[in-house]
Structure 1
Amino acid sequence: MSRATYYPELAQRVRSQRELQPDLYGDFDFDRAPDRLATEPDVDSALPTWVADRAPILEDDRVLELISTATLLGDVVADPYAALMATHSVTQLIDMLTRACRHGIEAVPEAPPELVAFIAAMEATPEWIDFDLVREGARQERIPAALLVPFITRGAFIATFTNTYAALPMALTGALSGKRAARRVNETASFFAVTTLPGALDRYGPGFEAAAMVRLMHSMVRYNALKKSDKWDTAVYGMPVPQVDQMPAGMIGQYLLARKARQQGRTEFTKEERAVIEFARYRCFLLGLPEELLPAEPADIIHVMHARSALLRHGFDSICAELVRGTMAAYLRPDTTLFDRCAEAVEKSFSKLTFVRTFCGGDRDVAEAMGVSLGSTDLLRVALTAPFIIGRFTAVSHASRIPVLRDVTDAYVIALLKLRLATYGKPEFTTDSAHYTPVPH
């Protein structure tokens, strides 16, 4: 890692990983940029040319340093706790974390210092968070979470598999098979949905606990990739599940809001949009992302998201293709009734369209090459169901802005969201190295 000019605190956090977790990171070379980091001007990156021009990003030393540094950052408080897998069972670690989230650290008399530090870090709410905005943002985000997201989650989820370097941790964890792929998609949908419920991100709310569980799962993946897998080459892949790879999932909605603002010729968010941004930033904080990766203004959000892609070396191999195919083939519904099968078919078609439009620039051939084929039947399904799906979402969104209808609308959305959570099933948020897949090179 070169000297830190713009982000000394972030660089210090990266370096501290070796001292905090010598067993895990003692051999990790924090001074070496992994091959995944593409800083050469003439190579293919994960930033498509139709999205943005890569050249200005490579000339911005500040953002280069930010992404290069964050590419080496794991989770300085959850990783040491996950590393206790060497002496504790996964069940024990989950049980202690669950009790600490639900009843406070004092409810875990046997809590190891690693757990105390983990919970304390999540409780240390940063000064830049405005909780009134967070609550309002959650209220707004509940509406798409209940009415739109269930139809596009799979499409957004497979976007994480379109790059070899970012996808390998998922391949290692055995997320290739149908049932496991389905569980991963449903867990992701469940996490994002539960965090929008009233009070979910409060200290003793279900969203706070879910964020802690997601962090533990990611840290277990890091531990298993570095300690249990002979496939993880740090010189090539660097840090498993670095914070910079968690930013797109946490900020994709906010990035799209920023793009919308720019298209409308605005340089600032509206009051409504700002609440949604603040909600997402706090949720990302609970997931362990550093403030440096969570900008608040439209231009900064776009710039950082583009920079992350511009510095991620392009790569799409057989592992990625298998992950995409496995996820597209997975059956997500809880039952196989006629309604469930129809809902599954509609969701799959919407997810394909979302993937093609958002991540392939509308090019069906590009999507096809990645294992997502959007056919005429899919387009027909979308055409037949979109008036209801989009119409209901639009009507509820408008109603939520009318003061006299706000409470009744919110009650409807919350009830629907709870139904959605029931169909997603109970998330396990665990990873077991016994199920890890040998990944071919």
Structure 2
Amino acid sequence: MAHHPGQRIDGARKKKAREHRATHYAHGGERAEAVGVLRFPRGDRPARGTTRYCAALAFAQGHARGLHACCVDLPDGRAWLVAAHQGKVLTQTDRVYATPADAHVALQALMDRHGAALTLHGQVPASPAEPFDLTQLGAQLSPANSLRSVGRVIPTPMIVALAACMLTVGGRAGWDLIRSWRSAAQPGPSALSGVSPEVAWREAFARLASQTRVHTDEGVSAVLAAIVALPMDLGGWQLRGAQCQPHTAVGWQCGAHYQRQRRSATNATFLAARPQGWTESWHPLDGVTASFALADGAEPLAIDRLQPLSTHDANTFSQLQSVLPAFASIAIGEPTALRIEPPVDGFGVPMPALPGMPSVHERSLSLDGPLRSLALVPASLSGQVAWRLLDARLHETAEPALNRSRWMASLQGTLYALR
């Protein structure tokens, strides 16, 4: 019997899904060889006659030209990030993150890699983004982006063979247990992982610390001083605002926004007056964003130097309360446990947490007020916060007051603490 090429491709997709022990799969078209796989828990599998869809595929098919990324907050507090190029979902981008901050870190990596070629959609901090709502995907759902059942994953004869294999493994495990009991051997490193759980968890915490960078008080003071020192006028162009975000490779990456004010002002007069080392992005007749880098004073997170939540409640937040009149607002989020990727044993099974392990929590921290007030950030936050955005903006008509000025700014970050 002859087989249609489409049948052979679909068979290969099912085989790939079975290799990943998936229950469903999706693909981008009859000729598309790339396949996305998904494993539904037994109690959540679609009932017969119902159809579920691949949101990432729907997004990709709705953005068939160019490079697009979408980051949206989910109702349960998590965040979804997906990216597509020429209507195809980019590998490793269709993910749900535990917190919006985690999703924004992954999104920033995409932005660093693709630059201006990437069009943003959804809730993207400190960057212009096209508005996006999950309900928009409803209009794009079609059979082309539906999830397809893999069907029976393990043939019946294989189940019998697998059961026999499990009995054999179980018998050997029982004999090993008896031997260890008879010899009264002390517990040693895990035979499955090759390392003890203590060492494995210590390495997991070390990875977390190396991937999380917090800022010192000196680093924040330096970036504030650099913003304050920006020229208000450059060749007839007036400063309107500035933003700084930390990047691992270059420190703080800043952009100063200038607007053409005088008739005699030209791009050439700006270039002649601006400091060396800046790079410009023109808007092309009346605006320019000048980019420059600053040392961020960041260092890897030192878990053993983190303060307890109770210390922040008693001391740090008391200091913030004392300077609150100098700010328009200070917002502190609820603490949530920081997710730590657990080490796995030789079978890929996550190791259980050990008694006495540190419990690291994170909470959002945002200060908004006059630029000068940011100098009042308590020194006790040094090495405890990963700042992610400094945004300063000019309000020419603002009436000066203790918590208002022509130059308003916000400083946003994540505070880490022990419970």
> Normalised by the shorter chain, which TM-score bucket?
under 0.3
TM-score by length of 1: 0.22
Report which of the two has the higher share of strand: 2
Higher relative contact order (CA 8 A, sep 6+): 1
Bigger-Rg structure (1/2):
2
Q: When you count helix as a share of all residues, which structure comes out higher? A: 1
